[in-house]
A and B are shown apart, each in its own frame.
Chain A
Amino acid sequence: MKKVFGRPKTLKPVPYHYCPGCGHSLLHRIVAEVIEEMGVEEIAIGVPPAGCAVLAYNYFDVDMGEAAHGRGAALATGVKRVLPDHLVFTYQGDGDIAAIGTAETVHAANRGERITCIFVNNAVYGMTGGQMAPTTILGQTTTTSPGGRVGNRDGFPLNLSEMLAVTRGSAYIERTSVTSPAGIRATKKAVRKAFEIQLKGLGFTLVEVLSPCPTNLKMSPIEACRWVDTEMVNYFPLGVIKDVTAPEEGKNAH
């Protein structure tokens, strides 16, 4: 019999430190698969965040340089300006990219920085123990929104991807999920497209991935996936948000 599925070579044979059913685990594999399939492991440079994925450099078998919390897009800018022909990607959680790193991300997009941000939206601060994130949905309880998030007190769920699509420098932005085989396929396609557009030099690219954090949602892994599919998507609709390579009518209105 022929092997039809196994570990990509770009993912080191190291067990993850992530919780059972964590979306980070799935997304790591997806990104590693795309790097391997595109054959770009020698030019890929990853930028891990502060967040549950802080140890991402232990897993990806490509060069990696750690960023301070939220500064991924700025650090990646520095790398990319020195190595313009390399594939430079950041890997960031929602708190990292959409709270503390908002300015760095918006301006990297606005400069049309030729980098790809892999944005893992799990609606909480996973690493620090489940506090409210910029993407926590209304009514969702977290350790710092014990009665549920209230918009005009705690702020509303922030749609960073839609914000970034408005910038003229962004080339490709898509929101997907990793809660089903179809979602995983879509995510893989989106990551590949983002990388390709980056290498073509068309501008800033980002893939936002809705991702289960069963531990902090206090659900079973499968329940957490269903919560993402039924609740989270109401605030963060899936699909292509911007694609400068799409035919005219499919293009974002901006």
Chain B
Amino acid sequence: MKGSIKIDSSQCKGCAFCVEACPNGVIEIGAKRNAMGYFYAVVKKDGAKDGKGCTGCTLCAVMCPEVAIEVYREER
């Protein structure tokens, strides 16, 4: 299954729960700070390199305290 996520970087506080939760290693904490001053989570540029990429499993969003992640999945 193919999916994608949208991270609202302005809401992210960089807790890294999503990074840990993603079974496919799609997310990382980036090098830039947002307006609140937190290093925020971003989708890895080469996210699909070692794994199968985002499957739309929602685990990152389930673990996101800030409700900053929306998940989309390809309809079959």
Contacts and interface: CB of A to CB of B under 8 A. Distances in A.
Chain A: number of interface residues, binned into ranges: 20 to 34
Given A25-B66, A184-B62, A20 B71 contact: no
Contacts of A184: 62-63
A1 B73 contact: yes
A29 B67 contact: yes
Interface residues of B, number: 27
A3 B58 CA distance: 10
Contacts, number: 74
A4 B56 contact: yes
Given A181-B21, A181-B59, A4 B66 contact: no
A200 interface: no
B13 A3 contact: no
Interface in B30-74: 38, 56, 58-59, 61-63, 65-67, 69-74
B4 A1 contact: yes
A15 interface: yes
Nearest to B5: A5
Given A11-B67, A21-B65, A2 B59 contact: no
A4 B65 contact: no
A222 B38 CA distance: 16
A25 B65 contact: yes
Given A5-B61, A25-B65, A20 B75 contact: no
Interface in B7-45: 11, 13-17, 20-21, 38
B19 to A, nearest CB: 9
A16 B70 contact: no
Given A5-B61, A5-B62, A221 B69 contact: no
A127 interface: no
Interface in A1-39: 1-7, 11, 15-16, 18-23, 25-26, 29
Contacts of B72: 1-4
Interface string A22-65: 11011001000000000000000000000000000000000000
A4 B60 CA distance: 12
Interface in A158-206: 180-181, 184-185
A222 B58 contact: no
A181 B71 contact: no
A1 B38 contact: no
A29 B59 CA distance: 14
Contact of A2 (B16, B21, B73): B73
10 contacts: A1-B4, A4-B73, A5-B71, A20-B15, A21-B17, A25-B67, A29-B65, A221-B16, A222-B15, A222-B20
Given A7-B67, A11-B67, 10 more contacts: A1-B4, A4-B72, A4-B73, A21-B65, A23-B65, A26-B65, A180-B63, A181-B62, A181-B63, A220-B16
Q: Return the 5 tightest CB-CB contacts between A and B, nearest first.
A: A25-B65, A21-B15, A20-B13, A1-B72, A5-B71
